[in-house]
Amino acid sequence: MKISFAEPVLPAKGAVVVLVEEGKKLSSAAKELDKQTKGAVTRAIGASKFEGKKGQTLEILAPAGSDLDRILLAGTGKEFDELEQQALGGNLVGKLLSSGSTEVTAIVDAGTKDLATAAANVALGARLASYRFDKYQTKQKDNDNGKPTLKSVTVGVADSAAARKTYGPMDKIADGVFFTRDLVSEPGNVIYPETLAAQCKELTKLGVKVEILDEKAMAKLGMHALLGVGQGSERESRTVVMSWDGGAKSDQPVAFVGKGVTFDSGGISLKPGPGMEEMKWDMGGSGTVIGLMKALAGRKAKVNVVGLVGLVENMPDGKAQRPGDIVTSMSGQTIEIHNTDAEGRLVLADVLWYCQDRFKPQFMVDLATLTGAIIIGLGHEYAGMFANDDKLSDQLFAAGTATGEKVWRMPLHDNYDKKIKSDAADMKNIGGRDAGSITAAQFLQRFVNKTPWVHLDIAGMAWSKEAKPTVPKGATGFGVRLLDRFVADNYEK
C-alpha cells in the first residue's frame, strides 16, 4: 500500500477520513465537508451514537452533492497520543481495506497540537494494519473481509514536509515488522534453517554483514546443545550472525539473540497432534531479531548491533536425541535431556554463550517462544521479561509502554535454579511443571556468563488469533517496534 503526505485539502473523489473530537466537535476539515455535502456529516452524527470518542468511527456512504465514495468520521477523544494516533490509522485501514474504495485521504487537523507527528503516526498505523499474508490463497484472498481494494493512503496535514520527515524512519521500522511477519507466517516446509539463513543474507543489501555457521563450524565450536536438537531432522542446523555497524568503531555492540526452531514437533517427547501446526512459528524469536536488524539498518541507526539466531528443526527420527542423553554445551557445562520438547533453551544456551564469548557485548537481549507456561501466566497482553540487570529491565519496560509492545518482569532466584539440578550432569533441561517459564529462564541464565542480559518469553505474543488495530491476525512481528525504540532511546548517539 502506498503511503504519502499532502496539504490538508479535501479530495474530490475516493474516500475521505476527517477527525471529530470528543463531544461531537468537528475538525475544520469535517466542518468544510459538512458544508460541501449540505449537512450530511452533522445529520449522520445526529442519527448515530458517534460522539468522537477514541476508537469510534462512523461511515457515510456516497454523500449527495459529491463524488466521494465514502466519508469516515474518526474520533480522537479530547486528545489522542502516539499509540492512539497509530490505532486511528489502523482502524481506518481496517474499515476501508476491503471496502471497495481504492484510495483514501485522511485529514489530520485536530486532536493534538503536534499535527505533523500525529500525521506520521496515523500513517504508520495505517501501514502496519495493511499487512496481509495471502500469497498461498490462490482462489480467494479472504482474510476476514475479502480481497483488499485500498491501494493508497494520503495523509493531509498542514506541515506535510515535517510529517514526511518524521515518517521516514517509521516506514523502515514497518519494513522490519513486515519482514518478521512474512518469515513467521511461512510454513515449515518453506522456512527451515537453510532457507531462513538465506533470508538473513538478504539483509546484506542494506549493509548488514551476515555470516552463516553450518553444522561443521558449530561442531568445531562445541555447540552440542544446539546440534543435539537438530540431529533428528533431515534439515541441517545453522547459526547466523548479523552485524550492523552504525556506531563508533570503538563502541561495544549491543546484542540480540533469537530462538529459531523452524518447526517444533517436540522431538521424541512428541507433542500432541491438535495444534501442532502452530509450531511453525516457533522461530518467532529469530524472526523478530531478523526484522529488527532490517529496521535498524533501514533507518541507519547510529549504534553497533549484532543479531544472532540459532536455527534448528526439532524432529523425531532414528537419529533424534533421546530423553536421558547428556550433551556438552559450548560453555563446557553438561546437560541431561529430560524432555526433548524443552529444546529452545538448548539452542539459546549455545548461541548466548557464543555471543558473549565472541562479541563481549554491552548486553544481550534474547527473544524466544520458549514456554507454554508464560501464556498461562500472562496471556497475550505482555511478554514475560526476565533480567539480571534492573536498568535494562526498566528501559525495556518503558519502551514497551511507549510502543504498546508490553513486557512484564518476572522473577529469577537461586531457589528456582535448584529445580534444574541433575544427578547425572551439571543440569537437566526441565524443572518440572511449577514455574515452568522461570526455570526455563534460570536455565538460560547459566549461559550468559554474568553479561547484563534480558530474556523475553514471547510465546504468547508472536502470533495472534484476533486482529488489533495495527496488528492483523497471524504473525504479529512483536518485538521489532519494542526493541527499535529501546535502542533509539538508550543506545544511539
Give me the residue whose beta carbon is nearest to ligand BES. Answer: 372
Q: How many helices (H) and strands (E) does the chain have?
A: 15, 20
CA separation for the pair 321, 219 (Å, rounded): 16
Number of other residues whose CB lies within 10 A of the CB of residue 492: 13
57 binds, among Zn ion, ligand BES, Mn ion, none (CB under 5 to 8 A by kind): none
**Is 264 a binder of Zn ion (CB under 5 A)?**
yes
CB of 76 to Zn ion, least distance (A): 42
Active site residue 25: no
Label residue 205 exposed, middle or buried (CB < 10 Å: 0-12, 13-18, 19+): exposed
Q: What is the dihedral of CA 271, 276, 278, 280, to 10 degrees?
A: 80
Decide: is 34 part of the binding site for Zn ion (CB under 5 A): no
102 binds, among Mn ion, Zn ion, ligand BES, none (CB under 5 to 8 A by kind): none
From the candidates 54, 164, 238, 345, give the one annotated as an active-site residue: 345
- Closest Cα to residue 287, out of 470, 475, 447, 465? 475
By CB under 6 A, is residue 313 in contact with ligand BES? no
| Residue 339 binds ligand BES (CB under 6 A) | yes
Q: Is 473 a catalytic residue?
A: no
Among residues 21, 69, 282, 350, the one that binds Zn ion under rule CB under 5 A: 282
Distances (CA, A) of 460 to 17, 99, 196, 197, 276: 34, 31, 22, 25, 15
**Binding range to Zn ion, per CB under 5 A, among 275-283, 285-293, 322-330, 397-405:** 275-283
Residue nearest to Mn ion (CB): 341
The stretches of 238-372 forming alpha helices (DSSP H) are 284-298, 344-359
User: Looking at the DSSP assignment, which residues form a beta bridge with residue 366?
Assistant: 257, 455
Nearest CB to ligand BES, comparing residues 1 and 270: 270
Sequence-distant (6+) residues with CB within 8 A of 215 are 227, 230, 236, 237, 238
* Helix, strand, coil % in the chain, rounded to nearest 5: 40, 20, 40
The correct pick among 130, 304, 331, 371 for binding ligand BES (CB under 6 A) is 371
Q: Are 256 and 309 in contact (CB under 8 A)?
A: no
Which positions from 190 to 229 touch Zn ion by CB under 5 A, shown as an x/- string? ----------------------------------------
On the CB side of 224, CA atoms within 13 Å amount to 15
Does 369 interact with ligand BES (rule: CB under 6 A)? yes
Question: Cβ of residue 327: shortest distance to ligand BES, in angstroms?
Answer: 16
Touching ligand BES, residues 419-458 (CB under 6 A): 430, 436
Binding residues for Mn ion, rule: CB under 5 A, are 264, 341, 343
At closest approach, how far in Å is the CB of 333 from ligand BES?
19
Least distance CB 357 / Zn ion (angstroms): 24
Catalytic residue numbers read 271, 345
Which residues are near ligand BES by CB under 6 A? Answer: 264, 282, 339, 341-344, 369-373, 430, 436, 459
